[in-house]
Structure 1
C-alpha cells in the first residue's frame, strides 16, 4: 500500500460498497457495452493515462469519455463517478509484479530495500499519487496482494504483527518524502524556467562571498563534492533505516 500527502482528492470518497464490488468483481456487469471493446479495465487505464500526462485535476468523466471516443453517460454503466474511479485507479497502479525477484533474492532486508526503490519508481511513474489523501484507503486485490507479498518476506524479522506493519509504513513514509522533494524540484524547474544548475549558479557570487567572510567556517570547509549530484541521498537514507531495523531484529533475537 502507498500513502500520500493530503491533496486535492481523497480515497474512499465514493460509494464504498459499490467501489468494493468493482474492485473485487462482485458487482453487476453491464449486460451489453455501449461501445464494442469498452470495459471497466479500459476506463481505469484511460483515467490513469490522463492523470499521468496532465495531472489528477484533469481526470473527469467527460475527459475520460473523450479519450475513449464515447459518450460521458456511457461510462456510468461501468463506474458510478470520479470518487469510485479514483479508488480503482489507486488499486490498479499498485498491482504487484508476478516476479518474486522484484522483492530481492535475499532476506527481509533485501525485500525492504527493493520495496523502497520500487515505491519511489511508482511515484515517479504516477506523480499524481502524491495529490491523493490515502489515510483511509479502500483495500482492493492489488493492495492486499502487495501487502501479502511484503509481509511474507519480512515475517522472519521476528517482530510483532503491528510492528511488521509499522515497518512497511516507515519505509513508505520515507519514500513519500523523497518522492515529494523530487516532484517539487521538477515543478520548480518547470515554473521558473531555470535548470537546477542555473538556479544555483545564480546564487554562486553571494554564496562565495559568504563563505569567505569567516562567519561559516564549517560550511566553508566542506569538500567540493558535498552538494554534487553523484551522492545518492535516497539510497543513503534507506540504508540507514535498514541498519536501524537490523539492530532491532538482533535485539529481539537475543531476548
Structure 2
C-alpha cells in the first residue's frame, strides 16, 4: 500500500501564508523603515471604505500613505496579499464567545458580532466568502463558532452544516442592510418613503386574481409587521438548532 502526501503549496500560496502567519519583523540594523506593515494594512482599509473593494489598488494605498507605489512592494507583494491582511485585521475586531458559555447565548453573540463586523466593513462582503484567507483571526472566529455546537453535543457533520447555516443567514442579512443603507444615501429616500412613493401601484396595476396568495396574506394582516428583525429571525433559526441538539441527546 502506498501512502499519499498532500501537494506542496505553490510559491504564491506559500508567500501568502507566510505573510499572515510569519510576517517579517523590522530589522534593528540600518536605517529605520519608513512604514510598518500595520500602517500599510490600515491605509488599505481606509481606501476600501472610501472606494469599495473594486477601487483598491496599490497606487491608491501608496497615495494614502504619501509614498511611491514601489515602496509598498517592500512590505506587501501585491493586492491579493494586502486584502488577506486587511480581512484578518478586521476579523481581529471580533469579541468571540468564551468556551463554556451556554450554546444559545454564545451562538447569538457569534452571529451578532459577525453582523456588526460586516456593517462596519461592508467591503468584506465583496470578497469571495467561501475563500476567506487561512489567517489567524479568521480561523479563531471559525474555531469559536464550531466549538459552540460541538460542545453542545452535535455530531461533526451537523456542527459544520448548522454553523454554516447561521453564517449564511448573517451574511445575507448584512448584505441587505448594507444595500438598504447605500440606497438611502444615494436616493435620499428611506425604505418607508420609497414604498409610499409606489402606493399608486396597488390600485393601478395590482391584480388580486393573478396574485391570490399574496392578496389572501395581505387581507389576513400577514404583511403588517413587515420584515422580521435580525434578532427575531435569528431566534427562529436557533429554535431549529435547539431541536437538532435535543434529538442528538436522545
Q: TM-score range by the shorter chain?
A: 0.7 to 0.9
- Per-residue CA distance 1:104-160 (angstroms, 9 max, x = gap): 984111111111111110110011111111323321111122223333333222122
Residues 1:206 and 1:103: Cα distance change in structure 2 (over 3 Å)? farther
Unaligned runs of 5+ in 1: 1-13
TM-fit CA distance, 1:238: 0.9
Unaligned runs of 5+ in 2: 1-10
Query: Is 1:120 the equivalent of 2:119?
Result: no
- Per-residue CA distance 1:148-186 (angstroms, 9 max, x = gap): 333333322212223222222111100111111112222
Contact (CA 8 Å) 1:96, 1:145: kept in 2 or not? no
Partners of 1:209 and 1:54 lie apart in 2 by: 40
TM-score (norm 1): 0.80
Which runs of structure 2 are paired with 1:31-42 in the superposition (5 Å)? 34-35=33-34, 38-42=35-39
- In the alignment, which residue of structure 1 is the partner of 2:4? none
Partners of 2:151 and 2:122 lie apart in 1 by: 33
The one of 65, 83, 86 aligned to 1:86: 83
Contact (CA 8 Å) 2:44, 2:61: kept in 1 or not? yes
Moved more, 238-247 or 212-221: 212-221
- Per-residue CA distance 1:4-38 (angstroms, 9 max, x = gap): xxxxxxxxxx9321111111125576675551xx1
- In the alignment, which residue of structure 1 is the partner of 2:58? 61
Contact (CA 8 Å) 1:16, 1:138: kept in 2 or not? no
Count of residue pairs the alignment pairs up: 234
TM-score (norm 2): 0.81
- In the alignment, which residue of structure 2 is the partner of 1:218? 217
3-state secondary structure, aligned to 1:204? coil
Q: Which portions of structure 1, spanning 4 or more consecutive aligned residues, are displaced by more than 6 angstroms?
A: 209-215
3-state secondary structure, aligned to 1:149? helix
Partners of 2:100 and 2:46 lie apart in 1 by: 32
Which runs of structure 2 are paired with 1:56-205 in the superposition (5 Å)? 56-95=53-92, 97=94, 102=97, 106-205=101-200
- Per-residue CA distance 1:87-116 (angstroms, 9 max, x = gap): 11111111154x66x569841111111111
Partners of 1:247 and 1:167 lie apart in 2 by: 12
Cα RMSD of the aligned pairs, angstroms, is 2.8
The one of 2, 13, 16 aligned to 2:13: 16
Which protein has the larger Cα radius of gyration, Structure 1 or Structure 2? 2
3-state secondary structure, aligned to 2:84? helix
Contact (CA 8 Å) 1:24, 1:141: kept in 2 or not? yes
